[in-house]
């Protein structure tokens, strides 16, 4: 296809995308897709490490559709990038199993991120499933299956790209060069929640979703946390750590107007209502083209499914080529070929005897 260097990144299909995802990752992906050949993974196998009930699994298709609709609506272009469903690419499972021999259990068990994920999923430390311990190994398989060079990740996943590099290095040293050692690209800022908590998160209920309608966005903005000490608009307010201003910094293109508003806020010369009114307008302006693209894609029945389907077929091709190289380098192909040859010889011999 092209000589562009490759990127692998993605999300677990657990819900719709919000402003935090936009600031942290989506914005960056849209920018990177011209320079790199991007592979965006809908990581449903990763979801299984903490959520694997039949209900969770049956929600994957719809969640994937919603998530990909959000991708497309911010400007990820399926003509440039590959969006695929992890569980439908069987080479991922094979590679993950082979990689399991290239990393030690203590190396994985030491990772704070695994303990953190277990905590978040209410899993006790001594009942951590093998699959959750192996999360970084599966991630290494995701990254190295398309032989990616660059991995945009959140800070919490940086250590997993480190493990991916160790696995790639170990593989190349043992069996010969197949994999690049991918670099990690730490994602953008963390956006606080509407409640003032450090992180906007869909499971906390403090998120503004890209797919929220105008009335919902307005309602969420007007119920936002601000400076709690400011019970009247003539009391000087604090801008730092005030999520309303953090959002304005991120989404208001008029930097001078935001600076002026901050000055008045600090001096106690503007009410919260005016500030929130501005933020509501800014967010509607920001979301308008996103909603327009979402309508375009959602308006054509089966289009989002086709994007995922075609992307998955493409990823399968790339994955099959990688697996071919892996099995050849390791000599796995040779074992079965030698056995098959003997068996075929015997079959031919018997056929010749029967004929004679």
Residues that bind ligand ATP (CB under 6 A): 11-12, 14, 20-21, 23-25, 154, 187, 190-191, 199-203
Helices (H) and strands (E) in the chain, counts: 17, 5
| C-beta of 211 vs 322, nearer to ligand ATP | 211
Min separation Cβ 15 and ligand ATP, Å? 6
Q: Which residue has the tokens 């077929």?
A: 313
| C-beta of 138 vs 323, nearer to ligand ATP | 138
CA distances from 309 to 61, 253, 322 (A): 12, 37, 20
Contacts of 313 (CB under 8 A, 6+ apart): none
Neighbours of 259 (CB within 10 A): 11
Residue least distant from ligand ATP (Cβ): 24
| C-beta of 51 vs 149, nearer to ligand ATP | 51
Min separation Cβ 348 and ligand ATP, Å? 56
| C-beta of 55 vs 300, nearer to ligand ATP | 55
User: Do 249 and 258 contact (CB within 8 A), yes or no?
Assistant: yes
| C-beta of 195 vs 321, nearer to ligand ATP | 195
Min separation Cβ 338 and ligand ATP, Å? 45
Min separation Cβ 200 and ligand ATP, Å? 4
Min separation Cβ 250 and ligand ATP, Å? 10
Min separation Cβ 287 and ligand ATP, Å? 17
3-class DSSP state of 138: helix
Min separation Cβ 68 and ligand ATP, Å? 14
Environment class of 112 (CB within 10 Å of its CB; exposed 0-12, middle 13-18, buried 19+): exposed
315-327: b (≥16 Cβ within 10 Å) or e = bbebbeebbebbb
Contacts of 290 (CB under 8 A, 6+ apart): 73, 74, 210
| C-beta of 106 vs 112, nearer to ligand ATP | 112
In the chain, what is the greatest distance between 2 CA atoms, to the nearest angstrom?
Answer: 107
| C-beta of 153 vs 323, nearer to ligand ATP | 153
User: Do 342 and 350 contact (CB within 8 A), yes or no?
Assistant: no
Min separation Cβ 122 and ligand ATP, Å? 13
Helix (H) or strand (E) holding 90: none
Closest CA to 69 of 15, 137, 5: 15
């Amino acid at each position: 296809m092209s000589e562009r260097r490759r990127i692998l990144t993605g999300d677990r299909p657990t819900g719709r995308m919000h402003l935090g995802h936009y600031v942290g990752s989506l914005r960056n992906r849209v920018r990177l897709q011209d320079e790199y050949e991007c592979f965006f993974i809908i990581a449903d196998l990763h979801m299984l490490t903490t959520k694997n009930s039949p209900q969770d699994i049956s929600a994957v298709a719809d969640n994937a559709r919603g998530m990909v609709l959000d991708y497309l609506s911010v400007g990820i272009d399926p003509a440039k990038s590959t969006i695929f469903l992890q569980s439908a690419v069987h080479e991922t499972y094979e590679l993950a199993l082979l990689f399991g021999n290239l990393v030690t259990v203590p190396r994985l068990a030491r990772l704070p991120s695994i303990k953190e994920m277990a905590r978040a999923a209410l899993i006790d430390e001594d009942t951590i499933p093998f699959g959750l311990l192996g999360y970084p190994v599966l991630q290494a398989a995701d990254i190295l299956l398309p032989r990616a060079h660059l991995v945009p990740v959140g800070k919490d996943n940086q250590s997993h790209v480190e493990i991916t590099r160790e696995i790639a290095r170990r593989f190349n040293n043992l069996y010969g060069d197949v994999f690049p050692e991918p670099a990690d690209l730490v994602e953008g800022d963390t956006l606080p929640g509407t409640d003032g908590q450090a992180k906007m998160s869909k499971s906390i209920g403090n998120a503004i979703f890209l797919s929220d309608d105008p009335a919902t966005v307005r309602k969420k903005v007007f119920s936002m946390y601000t400076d709690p000490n400011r019970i009247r608009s003539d009391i000087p307010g604090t801008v730092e750590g005030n999520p309303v201003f953090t959002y304005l910094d991120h989404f208001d293109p008029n930097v001078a107007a935001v600076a002026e508003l901050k000055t008045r806020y600090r001096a106690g010369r503007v009410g919260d209502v005016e500030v929130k009114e501005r933020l509501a307008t800014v967010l509607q302006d920001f979301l308008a083209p996103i909603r327009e693209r979402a309508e375009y894609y959602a308006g054509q029945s089966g289009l989002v499914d086709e994007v995922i389907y075609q992307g998955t077929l493409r990823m399968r091709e790339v994955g099959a080529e990688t697996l071919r190289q892996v099995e050849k380098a390791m000599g796995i192909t040779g074992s079965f070929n030698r056995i098959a040859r003997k068996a075929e010889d015997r079959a031919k011999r018997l056929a010749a005897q029967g004929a004679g």
